[in-house]
Amino acid sequence: MGLGTVAITGAAGTIGSVLREALRDEAERLVLIDRVPLPPAPPAAERAAGARPVAAAGNEEVRTADLRDAAAVEAALAGADAVLHLGGLPDEAPLPELLDTNVLGTHHVLEAARRRGIHRVVLAGSNRVTGFCPVGRPTGPREPVRPDGLYGVSKVAVEALGRLYADKFGLSVLCLRIGSFERAPTEPRHLATWLSHRDAVGYVRAALTAPPTPGFTAVYAVSANTRRFWELPGPAELDYTPVDDAETHAAGIPGADRAPDPAAPQGGPYARPEFTLPHLPHPPGLPSPEARP
C-alpha cells in the first residue's frame, strides 16, 4: 500500500523533521503542518551540495495551523489520505497547557479526520503513560496505564480520544508509544528505552501503510534493545520488526554496567516528584509546590 498524501502535524519538530526527510520520496505528497511558518527549502543545487532540506521541496506543501484552532486544523487536513499527528507539547508542563495543546489539539485532529473522511490516523503517544510500571516486569499496551507525570496524563487522554473515534466513528487509529528518540543512547535508561531514527521511520512507515481497518491499536515504538522492558508489537498489531539495539553503545555510557533496581519506575527521573512539582498550581498566599510534603 502506497503512502498517498500524508499530513504531518508538528512537522517542524525534532521527530517531524526526521520523518519528513525520510518519507519525502515515498509519499505522493507531504502536507507539513505547524503553528509556526516553516522556512523555505534550499534550492536544488544547494541540496545536492549537502544543504539540509527543511521545507516545501518537490512534493511538499506547508500549511500553518494552531492545533487549538479547530477550523484551521480542518482546513489544513484538506486532501490528506492519512494523518501523522506529532504536534503538541513534548514534555512536562502545567496541566491546563497540556490539556489545551495535547488533548484539545488531538481532538481537533481526530474530528477533522472524521469530517474529511480520513480513515488512517497515526498518533504520537508516549511511553510515559506507563512510567510507574517497574523496570523488572515486561510491559505491554494491555497493562493498566500508570502515567509518571502530567505529560503522561495528557497522553493517556490522547489514547482515550483515539479509541473513542475508532469505536464510535470507525476511524483506523494507531498510537505509537514513542521511546527515547535519540540519534544514539547517552544514558543508562536509554539502554532499555532507545528508539533509533531508523526504527522510528520503520514504525511510522508500517503504521501509514497498514490496511486502514477500523479500530484502535497502541504499541510501543522502541528499538530491539537487549535490556528493553516494553513488549515489541506482533505482526497482527504492526508489521515492523526493529533492527537497532542500544547495547551496541553501552561501552560508551557511564553507569551502563550497573543493574537497575527491578522495582524502580520505568520513567526514571520523570517519575520523581521534583519533576512535576514546579508545574503545579501555586495559589497566592500558599507555600510553593516544591515546599509541600
Q: Which residue carries 512534493 as its cell?
A: 59
**How far is it, in rounded angstroms, from Cα 27 to Cα 18?**
15
Can you give the chain as a three-state secondary structure string? CCCCEEEEECCCCHHHHHHHHHHCCCCCEEEEEECCCCCCCCCHHHHHCCCCCCCCCCCEEEEECCCCCHHHHHHHCCCCCEEEECCCCCCCCCHHHHHHHHHHHHHHHHHHHHHHCCCEEEEEEEHHHHCCCECCCCECCCCCCCCCCHHHHHHHHHHHHHHHHHHHHCCEEEEEEECEECCCCCCCCHHHHEECHHHHHHHHHHHHHCCCCCEEEEEEECCCCCCCCECCCCCCCCCCCCCCCHHHHHHHCCCCCCCCCCCCECCHHHHCHHHHHHHCCCCCCCCCHHHCC
State the Cα–Cα distance between residues 290 and 278, nearest whole angstrom: 7
Q: Exactly one of 151, 165, 203, 220 is catalytic; which is it? A: 151
Residue 151 falls in the annotated catalytic set? yes
Point out the residues that are catalytic: 151
